[in-house]
Amino acid sequence: MTRKPLLLTVIASSIFAASAFAAAPGNDPAALVKIRDTALASDWAYERLADMTDLIGPRLSGSAGEAAAVRQVADTMRKLGATVTLEPVKVPHWVRGVETGELVEYKGRPDGVSQRVVLTALGGSGATPASGLNAQVIVVRNFDELKARAAEVKGRIVLFDVPFDQFMADRGLAGPAYGQGSNYRSNGPRMAAQLGAVAALVRSVGGANYRIAHTGATRLDDNARIPAAAVSVEDAMLMSRLAARGPLTMRLTLTPQTKPDADSFNVIADFPGTDKPGEIVIVSGHLDSWDLGTGAHDDAAGVVGAMAVVDTLKKLNLRPRRTIRVIAWANEENGTRGARAYLESNKAKVETHFAAIESDNGAGRPFGMRMSVGPQAVKLFAPLQAVLQPIGAGTFRREDVLGTGDLSGLEKAGVPSFAPLLDTSTYFHYHHTAADTFDKVDKEDLRRHVALMASTTWFLANMEEPIGRWSELR
């Protein structure tokens, strides 16, 4: 899959060029039904998911896995006959090192005993000395408590012990629940550093407790890049309980390295439109992943879902009116450099973007789409919803701001943006952990995911009416 000879690319492209694609039938419901049902009957996306996660695995920016994923996606899209452009992007190159934690002093500790802490460095973390550091731990539950205890922070390790609200996540509010927790991961270490902390820890942001650590990016100031890690939920609770008994001292070793920026690429694959080839509908996911798991839900599922849009149309010999642009974004996780590069290179061409989709919430069962369009545009999607409703994916919910990782720049510039509305109740069980692996993706849910992505992309690429640019309406 990753080593397709050049000859095959040429043949595939030739077949594509020569094939008698049907004329675009606009938004004929019959075409939408065919797209939906073709997607529901195919495991092409599931097989590509296996290729990306089993053969490559983790794809952190700057890694060999990320480079392999660029090649794999480009090859796959070329095989489908798309025109592939690799857009260069300089990405952060942060490499995890040793990471250990040990509770070495606490009230009631028996002779010879210490407690091991499960933790993992946050992306962008600084390093401790190679031999580690020892410091007393101060546990806080929120930023107010950090401020109230500011005088105690200097020279200490701060632990932000903020529980993830799984109750919310179980009830369709995984996003806000994640936002509440990840706020401490993103900003807590920097604030602790500003108060003189020697290191910062956060409770892992996730709702399943199996002593695993959830990594993610943290925003440290360059002049105060302290060691920062996520501890498992269990260890955060343990440290809180021990700190409540008396002074708690921890030995922490984190040896990540920040290397010079590396070369990567946005993989951009165009499936040209018939009568409006200059108008673009983006369908996308992000190519990179964290380094602990194989990034199956986050975000191989999004990338293969986007690629499968073209596979589905090709199976049906359908050509869209507008150009469908599949993008596998570089570096969503720790920099969004890919999205920024695209925005920069397309700043004069934003108007040519009719709409954009990104799938970056895993492959849970899809319920429909979230969309940042003008209120007057909602009714335009009724024919699409009618086709998706029988598979439970007909809910199209307008939101003022989607704020997805890679589309937010385009969205702010006014491009109508879409993101699948999914079951995310278990997404944050695995997200950014070693457990985000192929087996977590349900084959049937992924088929539905592709049905939603392909139907919506097709619908957008063939709409008669303009959606209207939401920013102009605000």
Q: What angle do CA 124, 142, 241 make, to 5 degrees?
A: 95
> Using CA atoms, how far apart are residues 460 and 321, in angstroms rounded to an integer?
9
Q: Specify whether 47 is catalytic.
A: no
- Asked if 115 touches a copy of itself (CB under 8 A), the answer is yes
Q: Which residues is 158 bridged to in the sheet?
A: 138, 200
Q: How many residues bind to a copy of itself according to rule CB under 8 A?
A: 46
Nearest to 62 by CA among 256, 254, 259: 259
Binding-site string for a copy of itself from residue 236 to residue 255, where x marks contact by CB under 8 A and - marks none: -xx--xx-------------
> Using CA atoms, how far apart are residues 60 and 266, in angstroms rounded to an integer?
14
Q: Which of 66, 99, 279, 332 is catalytic?
A: 332
- Asked if 208 touches a copy of itself (CB under 8 A), the answer is yes
Window 428 to 447, contacts with a copy of itself (CB under 8 A): 429-430, 433-435, 437-440
Which of the listed partners (Zn ion, a copy of itself, none) does 79 bind, with a CB threshold of 5 to 8 Å by partner kind? none
- Asked if 167 touches a copy of itself (CB under 8 A), the answer is no
Minimum CB–partner distance for residue 369 and a copy of itself (Å): 30
- Asked if 288 touches Zn ion (CB under 5 A), the answer is no
Q: Which residues is 119 bridged to in the sheet?
A: 231
Minimum CB–partner distance for residue 12 and Zn ion (Å): 29
- Asked if 110 touches a copy of itself (CB under 8 A), the answer is yes
> Using CA atoms, how far apart are residues 156 and 406, in angstroms rounded to an integer?
36
Which of the listed partners (Zn ion, a copy of itself, none) does 360 bind, with a CB threshold of 5 to 8 Å by partner kind? Zn ion
Q: For Zn ion, which stretch binds (CB under 5 A), given 128-136, 148-156, 290-298, 319-327?
A: 290-298
Q: For a copy of itself, which stretch binds (CB under 8 A), given 65-73, 308-316, 344-352, 458-466?
A: 65-73
Which of the listed partners (a copy of itself, Zn ion, none) does 413 bind, with a CB threshold of 5 to 8 Å by partner kind? none
- Asked if 426 touches a copy of itself (CB under 8 A), the answer is no
- Asked if 211 touches a copy of itself (CB under 8 A), the answer is yes
- Asked if 360 touches Zn ion (CB under 5 A), the answer is yes
When binding is defined by CB under 5 A, the residue of 270, 299, 358, 411 that contacts Zn ion is 299
- Asked if 2 touches a copy of itself (CB under 8 A), the answer is yes
Window 244 to 283, contacts with Zn ion (CB under 5 A): none
Active centre residues (catalytic): 332
Interface ranges with Zn ion (CB under 5 A): 298-299, 360
Interface ranges with a copy of itself (CB under 8 A): 1-2, 50-51, 54-57, 64-65, 67-68, 71-72, 106, 108-113, 115-116, 118, 208-212, 233-234, 237-238, 241-242, 293-294, 429-430, 433-435, 437-440
